[in-house]
Structure 1
């Protein structure tokens, strides 16, 4: 009979990582952060379980996109009323809310479940260099791609 190993949650410690988004490409950064939040970098990865990983992203206003996505990529939202489909270009969203661009990219890459539903607790995004999470002693993470 095949047995599945299920790790105990009480022995896992909370890990904090900090990522500098300066001159990083939006899609590549988002995929690596989504995999990190989901816990796929750990040896004891089990789908649907809490990886207890928190990520802080700083300098999100300096993120880059490839090609002509600034003008051609749109974000759609609907108010619920007939004919009320709203369309916002990436360049406008990045100018008004630079944090929302990377948050939407990461959220849409996660599967439905614990990591997606508690994304606001696990992901902290800041426009500047400063963040209020020095007490958690986050480790600097350099992403390679």
Structure 2
């Protein structure tokens, strides 16, 4: 009897759509769940070097929360490479301007920093409000507490 390990190939992976409501959710816990689904680690045919994950739609990104005093102290920064080119903004400022980017940043930070991770990140769709244009794909709503 052949007991070899099955590795998922690129074309044989069936992709589902998952909907996550971020209303009142903790940012880090939401990000770990979403990253796990994007990578496909919740599926039995998970293969580390293949994109076996599902599409993830996150709604209500503007209602995500942090625990403790992190909302006051957390900063996002980027550097242009030029002298004086370091730009910083606090978590509160970032949430007012572009809450989608805050959630995307947290989730992408939990994906591999390789070409495979960038490919998996393209399956992430984040929206600030409750509306999203992916109703035709019938995304399955999942509970974060489970």
User: How does 1:1-145 map onto structure 2 within 5 Å?
Assistant: 3-144=4-145
- Between Structure 1 and Structure 2, the one with more helix by share is 1
Question: TM-score scaled to structure 2, two decimals?
Answer: 0.90
State the alpha-carbon separation in 2 of the partners of residues 119 and 92 from structure 1.
28
Instruction: Render the CA deviation track for 1:108-128: whole Å, top value 9, x for unaligned.
Output: 111123552125530111111
CA contact (8 A) 1:73 1:90 kept: yes
| C-alpha RMSD over aligned residues | 1.7
Question: TM-score scaled to structure 1, two decimals?
Answer: 0.91
Which segments of 5 or more consecutive residues in structure 2 lack a partner in the other structure?
A: none
Instruction: Render the CA deviation track for 1:23-69: whole Å, top value 9, x for unaligned.
Output: 00001110111111011101111102111410000011111110111
Residues 47 and 119 of structure 1: CA distance in aligned 2, closer, same or farther (over 3 Å): closer
Which segments of 5 or more consecutive residues in structure 1 lack a partner in the other structure?
A: none
Residues 19 and 115 of structure 1: CA distance in aligned 2, closer, same or farther (over 3 Å): farther
